[in-house]
Amino acid sequence: MVREIYKGRSVDLRVERVTLPNGVAVDLELMHHPGASAVVAADEQGRVVLIRQYRHAAGGYIWELPAGVLASALEPPEVCAARELTEETGVVARELRHLGTIFTSPGFCDERIHLFLARGLTDGSAAHEADEAIAEIARIPLAEALAKVRDGEIVDGKTIAGLHLAAAALGAP
């Protein structure tokens, strides 16, 4: 049994009656999310593109990869990735390579984020959406970005996963 609690622009909240593998029946509060894509855009100098974006739930500005929600269940994740990279940073990628897919909070949410490595970068112009507050767009060496993860300066989960997967794909130390 599924009971809809809230239907929003990006997420739906519902209560589902499920039987767990151990046979116990429980009511689970679950958020449904259509999915998203995030992009590690790496240039020829070994720098990655990061944005410093306001996130109310995080209490302020945080460093992140360019990312966004799939426009529909039918939108290919790579199309979303290319669109969000350009909208948020003005960067256009000649090549996108899928690095992996992660669950963000599988205890209560079905959101999957598809992570991509973008190469062959050229600069275009950004077109931020009305609900985006991007304070800064930066290109920093991948090694420095990973150091920011270790130092607790980068705390966003998709960004941490994406940077590590990109480092492995690029053969970075």
For residue 95, how many other CB atoms are within 10 A of its CB? 10
136 part of the active site:
no
Q: Please identify which of the residues 132, 136, 144, 153 carries the catalytic annotation.
A: 132
* Residue 23, C-beta contacts closer than 8 angstroms, at least 6 positions apart: none
If residue 157 lies in a helix (H) or strand (E), which one and from where to where? helix 157-170
What is the torsion angle, in degrees rounded to the nearest 10, for the CA atoms of residue 60, residue 43, residue 46 and residue 147? Answer: 10
Q: Which two tokens stand for residue 126?
A: 């950004």
The catalytic residues are: 132
